[in-house]
Amino acid sequence: MNLFHNAKKKLGIIFGAATLFAAVGSAMAQDSPRDEYQEWQKAKREAAREHREYLNNPKKSNYLDWRSAQRDANREYEEYLLAIEVSHRWSKGQRWVVAESDVREEYDEWRSAARERANELAEYRNNPTRDNYKGWQDAVRDERREYAEYRAALAGRKH
């Protein structure tokens, strides 16, 4: 009984370690600028396909699909830029070193996200559909994330 319990325990530890390595590996791979670039290009192709479909058949549902694909492509582009920025930062002891230009870029990205949020809100108010509401909420979350990144860059600069 004790031998079976030890084997079960060792198997659990091995499985846990493998799961941990897989999770860390996939998290590291997702932050790579190359992977983010590929996701952005895929989203751009999807937006172009949706646009062609809308031009061929100009229905409201096709228009909403196209706008949704555009938002997805813009979001992927922002993630790609973020991955590039993170790859250009470096660790110095326990803190991240941030260049002055990074703070300005973070500010610009935050302001851009705020403009996108305002545009999405206007679109939702003009055409209050579930898809437009979701787009507006996505833009609000993006703006909050960009603001947090800007504040983090400011805090990194002050140290």
Predicted confidence (pLDDT) per residue in 57-103, tens digit: 999 888 989 998 898 888 888 888 877 777 666 545 555 555 556 77
In the chain, what percentage of residues exceed pLDDT 90?
28
Res 117: pLDDT:
92
pLDDT at 29: 47
Question: Which pTM does this prediction carry?
Answer: 0.44
Residues 81-88: contacts with CB under 8 Å, at least 24 apart: 81/109, 82/36, 82/149, 83/31, 83/32, 83/33, 83/35, 83/36, 84/33, 84/36, 86/31, 87/31, 87/32, 87/33
Q: Is the pLDDT of residue 27 over 50?
A: no
Poorest-confidence range of 41-50, 80-89, 129-138?
80-89
